[in-house]
């Protein structure tokens, strides 16, 4: 198959008055959905808009809330019984009426000028997809610690949308504002991928020759998981699917994705070495030489400590303590999941961190 050079093909221009379709997959988001919908409907654009909610089978009253919200005729509901995000997104996109698609998340909030600015950038650079910064935030010490990790290059590896400041072509886009014609051309989201579906779609967009663009003036507020167990499940599943994407696409994956699994391997080797030394199975110069494996573990521990107690460590001591726990949790859960995905594949792995989640209502 002939692959165009990425970034060399202009996406089609759409008249400003042609209309915008927002698409949102929803599962167990009662505590966040109303505010997310409100920020979508408040977008200031000189064109008709619609919001298509793809409703998975929720257990916390989200579906009933969505039906109440849909009394606004700008909101359309479609069923997503499979509960998978890419399937829900595709169903919403197929039901949408307008030539520009804005992906939104029920756990996020759009800033007032987000869509207008994104449409201007799409036209200016003729990109197929434009995204901005994921601005994570939290209400509790734990959630604020997770948000800080999201916003830090130490937490999630320095992807542009986790705090980049330089506008330009990008590997992927957070959520994204896309031209429907390009989506139809490349084939919408891959429904066999349950996590990382946005990265894979943007890979196909770039391989088709189009530009994926990062605009740091765009920002979306994101509310992370609210408990440690849900964070572990989320990152384990995400890492597992990244391992699957490495199996499928190899060098198409950025080298930064390999840092967490490398940490897991080094940590396991360090534990095995320590046990061998304690048992007297390794001594002398061999033991001294092998002890070099402890150095990266020590350096990592000092880095995490410095980030946690540093000036941006949080509002108080509880935020700092949670940061000490959250950063290694994210790295190790993701890295272990990645190794499992590379070795065995993702198969039917799902992110269960939203199942049965009863979120605290917004203040």
CB 323 within 8 A of CB 308: yes
Largest CA distance in the chain: 77
Q: What whole-number distance in Å separates Cα of residue 274 and Cα of residue 282?
A: 9
| Confidence at 94, pLDDT banded by 50, 70, 90 | very high
Task: Check the CA dihedral 259-264-269-270 and report its sign.
Answer: positive
Task: Tell me how many helices (H) and strands (E) the chain has.
Answer: 13, 9
Residue 201 — φ and ψ, nearest 5°?
Answer: -60, -45
3-state secondary structure of 26: strand
Rg (CA), the chain: 22
Q: What is the pLDDT of residues 181-235, one digit of tens each?
A: 999 999 999 999 999 999 999 999 999 999 999 999 999 999 999 899 999 999 9
Query: CATH topology for 20-226?
Result: Spore Coat Polysaccharide Biosynthesis Protein SpsA; Chain A (3.90.550)
Q: What whole-number distance in Å separates Cα of residue 9 and Cα of residue 129?
A: 12
Residue boundaries of the structural domains of the chain: 20-226, 249-344
Which pair of tokens denotes residue 160? 């542009």
Q: Is 109 left (phi over 0), alpha (psi -120 to 50) or beta?
A: beta
pLDDT score, position 155: 80
How far from 141 is each of 45, 147, 156, CA to CA, in Å? 36, 10, 19
| Confidence at 164, pLDDT banded by 50, 70, 90 | low
302 alpha carbon, distance to own chain's centre:
27
CB 96 within 8 A of CB 52: yes
pLDDT score, position 2: 47
Strand partners, 110: 220
287 pLDDT above the threshold of 50: yes
What's the CA angle centered on 301, arms 296 and 302, to 5 degrees? 95
| Confidence at 174, pLDDT banded by 50, 70, 90 | very high
Residue 53 — φ and ψ, nearest 5°?
Answer: -95, 120
Mean pLDDT, residues 268-282? 93
CB 25 within 8 A of CB 92: yes
Q: Is 291 left (phi over 0), alpha (psi -120 to 50) or beta?
A: alpha
Could you tell me where the beta strands, DSSP code E, fall in the chain?
20-26, 49-55, 75-79, 100-103, 108-110, 129-136, 168-169, 174-179, 212-222
């Amino acid at each position: 198959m002939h692959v165009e050079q990425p970034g060399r093909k202009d996406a089609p221009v759409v008249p400003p008055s042609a209309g915008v379709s927002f698409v949102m997959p929803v599962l167990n988001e009662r505590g966040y959905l109303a505010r997310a919908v409100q920020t979508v409907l408040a977008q200031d654009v000189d064109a008709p808009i619609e919001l298509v909610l793809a409703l998975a089978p929720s257990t916390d009253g989200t579906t009933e809330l969505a039906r109440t919200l849909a009394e606004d005729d700008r909101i359309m509901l479609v069923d997503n019984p499979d509960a998978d995000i890419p399937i829900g997104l595709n169903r919403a996109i197929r039901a949408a009426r307008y030539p520009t698609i804005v992906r939104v998340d029920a756990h996020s909030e759009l800033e007032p000028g987000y869509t207008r600015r994104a449409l201007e950038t799409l036209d200016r650079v003729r990109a197929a997809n434009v995204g901005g910064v994921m601005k994570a935030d939290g209400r509790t010490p734990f959630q604020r610690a997770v948000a800080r990790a999201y916003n830090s290059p130490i937490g999630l590896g320095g992807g542009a949308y986790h705090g980049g400041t330089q506008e330009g072509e990008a590997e992927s886009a957070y959520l994204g504002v896309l031209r429907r014609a390009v989506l139809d051309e490349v084939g919408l989201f891959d429904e066999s991928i349950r996590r990382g579906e946005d990265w894979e779609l943007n890979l196909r967009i770039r391989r088709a020759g189009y530009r994926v663009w990062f605009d740091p003036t765009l920002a979306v507020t994101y509310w992370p998981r609210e408990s440690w167990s849900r964070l572990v499940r989320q990152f384990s599943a995400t890492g597992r699917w990244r391992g699957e994407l490495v199996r499928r696409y190899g060098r198409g994956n950025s080298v930064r994705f390999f840092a967490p699994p490398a940490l897991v391997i080094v940590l396991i080797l360090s534990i095995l070495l320590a046990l061998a030394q304690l048992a007297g199975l390794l001594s002398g110069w061999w033991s001294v030489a092998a002890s070099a494996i402890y150095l990266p573990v020590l350096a990592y521990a000092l880095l995490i400590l410095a980030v946690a107690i540093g000036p941006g460590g949080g509002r108080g001591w509880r935020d700092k303590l949670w940061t000490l726990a959250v950063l290694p949790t994210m790295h190790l859960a993701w890295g272990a999941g990645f190794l499992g995905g590379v070795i065995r594949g993702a198969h039917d792995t799902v992110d269960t961190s939203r199942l049965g989640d009863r979120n605290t209502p917004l203040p």
